[in-house]
Amino acid sequence: MDRQKQNTKVILLIGIAVIFCYFFSEAVLRQFVLYRAGSQSINLSSILGKLPPGLRDEVTRRITIAELKDDLKAAKTTGEKIRISINLAMTISPEELQKRYAEIIDEYPKQPESQPAYTNFLMAPKTALKSISVERYQGFMKILNKEQKFWAWSSGLYKLKTLKISNKEQMEFLLPLLNIKPQGREYQQIYMELSELAFEEKNQDVELKAKKLSDICEKIPYFDEVLEKRAKAIAIAKARKLAKAKKLAAAKAAKLAKEKNKSTKRDK
């Protein structure tokens, strides 16, 4: 009973401290996040649930910031540091994220995990902290593995679309893909996009090459095992549905033939 009263008192104190920390630094809040009452962990979510929505969201954000800072200190590899620092900056503010992206390009220009920063500044206006040309972006992609390359191509194309870059420039961005053997079925969508862009630009040569590569993608597996299993399941379901349809059609044809045969005999 005494232990229960003690824990209740601690929770109450932490609840007060959480509100207090809303007005001060997340460094103080971190101490309460890590606090343990004897052998039992304090359920911080139950405390937050009692706060007003606006206050709860801000305190949760500060808790996340505190935890990410701890994770960043504990990170052992450069890749981990980059990923965590991006999440941290994203949690702090949009402005902080843009600043961090620019720092990442300067500090880690040849690190695969820097790809989100490169994509963010791809063909950015002069008013941005950085602006990455298509040539530099494509040069950076050379250090990526096959799966990372796919995501760089797809996210790069999406970025150009959000900037409302012309169809011609989007097509030119994707042209190097015509000389690259696709290594995953995920590329099919990109080749289809390239084919459509070429059609709109009346470039039949590019359109036909992109279609051919799209057909090749149809015959190769996905990078993602989940997608691969899903595709196989869909293919099996389609095959069964087709077999059932053929069986029903054959039965219907046999029935019609039988009825026709009976009718012919009656006429005779």
pTM greater than 0.95 (yes/no): no
Burial (Cβ within 10 Å: 0-12, 13-18, ≥19) of residue 121 = buried
152-177 CB burial, b ≥16 within 10 A, e <16: bbbbbbebbeeeebeeeebbebbbeb
Give φ, ψ of 178 to 5 degrees: -70, -20
| 179-212 b/e (C-beta count within 10 Å ≥ 16 → b) | eeebbbbbbbebbebbbbbbbebebeebbebbbe
pLDDT at 59: 74
Q: What is the pLDDT of residue 48?
A: 59
Closest CA to 58 of 27, 86, 23: 23
Model pLDDT, residue 226:
43
| Alpha helix positions (H), 23-77 | 26-33, 44-48, 53-74
- The pLDDT of residue 110: 95
Low-confidence ranges of the chain (pLDDT < 70): 1-56, 224-251, 253-254, 257-268
- pLDDT single digits (tens) 47-85: 556 656 666 677 778 878 888 998 999 999 999 999 999
C-alpha radius of gyration, the chain, whole number = 30
Check residue 43 and give its pLDDT: 55
Domain boundaries, the chain: 1-56, 92-164, 166-222, 224-268
What's the distance, CA 121 to chain centroid? 18
Residue 256 to residue 93: CA distance in whole angstroms: 71
Helix axes 187-200, 167-174, angle to 10 degrees: 140
Backbone angles phi, psi at 36, to 5 degrees: -130, 130
